[in-house]
Chain A
């Protein structure tokens, strides 16, 4: 892997104090074994009320960005990608803080991105959804379908948190959603900017803890309302 390329790994975290330490330790270990120890690991602590920030501070080689206010997953990702762009990263990969993603899969996303055939690589949990609860499969597929109906872009796992962006994508993409709505808005912006997307299969590690996090069914109602609002406003205002 080209060492001259600058990589930033973005991890949004909200009240993940019990697991984030383990996630970072494993990630740093895997990065070292892959020869990527120069990668910048950036944790965006989205106004957590627990010891998330303290756990991150204990680890070396990690940048901690503290959101003053709890703003949502979308805002945390936007801050992280903005940081990657402003610090001149060639590639940025986002991954969840709840231990749902294997850092080996992160490396695979990066490897695919480095082939320079796609601007964005998405780690899809739905290509091989074995082990994923049926309601999560339904929720994610529904999200993908709704994104297609509203924005005309179909991505199998549009709600996946494991995504890789190259420099072009980092420069071009801006989204405004603060909560989980950003997943669908991101796909819309990808389409608007004519960026190339590729999905590769990844496995999702579901634990009781990770299942308790993420989007709830009620949040879907809010997401749908937000997306309709964006579509409506953009229709009249551009």
Chain B
């Protein structure tokens, strides 16, 4: 199988998930129009890079901007690994942030419950 097709197949789920989340956030009114457009543009950019990765490589090579060899299987694994690590990073960051918020809420409620009127 062509390595560029493999790269697309392995990474397309991340983009689809990104699109779904973008639409879901907008429909549930958790985001404004500008952020929706920016998110949509971001995932479209990733999608375009994936679809045209071979053309991009050819362009860069023809113009002397890179002298690396064409995509190898380890390159595909590496690129997919970067995407996976990025997704995990965002998820973990979000979970830690959510826990931090809940701890702050708990702290505040406890403090208010123990308030003193003089």
Contact = CB atoms under 8 A, between A and B. Distances in A.
A65 B109 CA distance: 10
Interface of B: 21, 25, 30-32, 34-35, 38-39, 42, 90, 93-94, 97, 100-101, 104, 107-108, 110-112, 114-118
B104 A78 contact: yes
Interface stretch (A53-61, A96-104, A109-117, A124-132): A53-61
Contacts of A4: none
Interface stretch (A79-87, A138-146, A214-222): A79-87
Given A68-B107, A238-B31, A63 B116 contact: yes
A176 B112 contact: no
B116 A79 contact: no
A147 B117 CA distance: 37
A68 B111 CA distance: 6
Interface stretch (A15-23, A163-171, A204-212, A229-237): A229-237
Contact of A233 (B39, B42, B97, B118): B97
A229 B94 CA distance: 10
Interface in A31-83: 44, 56-69, 71, 75, 78-79, 82-83
A64 B101 CA distance: 23
Given A75-B107, A79-B108, A62 B118 contact: yes
B107 A235 contact: no
A20 to B, nearest CB: 13
A67 to B, nearest CB: 5
Contacts of B21: 236-238
Nearest to B22: A238
Candidate in B31, B117, B118 with the most chain A CB atoms within 10 angstroms: B118
Nearest to A58: B118
A235 B39 contact: yes
Given A64-B115, A79-B112, A192 B32 contact: yes
B114 A66 contact: yes
A238 B30 contact: yes
A118 interface: no
Contacts of B93: 229, 233
A60 B118 contact: yes
Contacts of B108: 75, 78-79, 82
A233 B104 contact: no
Contacts of B90: 233, 236-237
A66 B111 contact: yes
Contacts of A78: 104, 108
A56 B39 CA distance: 49
6 contacts: A58-B118, A65-B114, A82-B112, A235-B38, A236-B90, A238-B30
Contacts of A178: 104
A75 B111 CA distance: 11
Candidate in B35, B94, B97, B116 with the most chain A CB atoms within 10 angstroms: B116
Contacts of B100: 176
Contact of B117 (A44, A58, A63): A63
Contacts of A44: 111
